[in-house]
């Protein structure tokens, strides 16, 4: 899902968030290896919001989590 008002966080955030979350999808638990970053693999790491923006979540580091591509669509 692409939210035009809240573009993807910069790659710095992506690496930092995925490192913090140990390159594991926080939704389904699948490994999202760093080697799959920026690929179209279903387990490629992506950044998602823990609390959806429409539920008051912030577009901020603390509210980001590492999720696989499959869970982020």
Q: What is the closest distance, in whole angstroms, from the C-beta atom of residue 54 to Zn ion in the complex? A: 21
- Residue 72 DSSP one-character state: G
How far apart CA 4 and CA 28 sit, in angstroms, is: 26
Looking at the Cβ atoms of 31 and 51, the one nearer to Zn ion is 31
Q: What is the closest distance, in whole angstroms, from the C-beta atom of residue 70 to Zn ion in the complex? A: 5
Nearest one of 49, 14, 43 to 28, comparing CA atoms: 43
Q: What is the closest distance, in whole angstroms, from the C-beta atom of residue 43 to Zn ion in the complex? A: 7
CB 50 within 8 A of CB 59: no
Residues of this chain that bind Zn ion (CB under 5 A): 25, 27-28, 68, 71
Looking at the Cβ atoms of 17 and 71, the one nearer to Zn ion is 71
Q: Give the count of beta carbons closer than 10 Å to the beta carbon of residue 64.
A: 23
Looking at the Cβ atoms of 5 and 17, the one nearer to Zn ion is 17
């Amino acid at each position: 899902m692409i939210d035009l008002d809240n573009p993807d966080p910069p790659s710095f955030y992506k690496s930092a968030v995925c490192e913090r979350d140990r390159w594991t999808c926080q939704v389904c638990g699948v490994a999202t290896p760093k080697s799959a970053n920026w690929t179209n693999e279903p387990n490629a790491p992506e950044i998602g919001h823990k609390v959806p923006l429409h539920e008051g979540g912030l577009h901020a580091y603390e509210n980001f989590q590492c999720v696989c591509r499959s869970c982020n669509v």
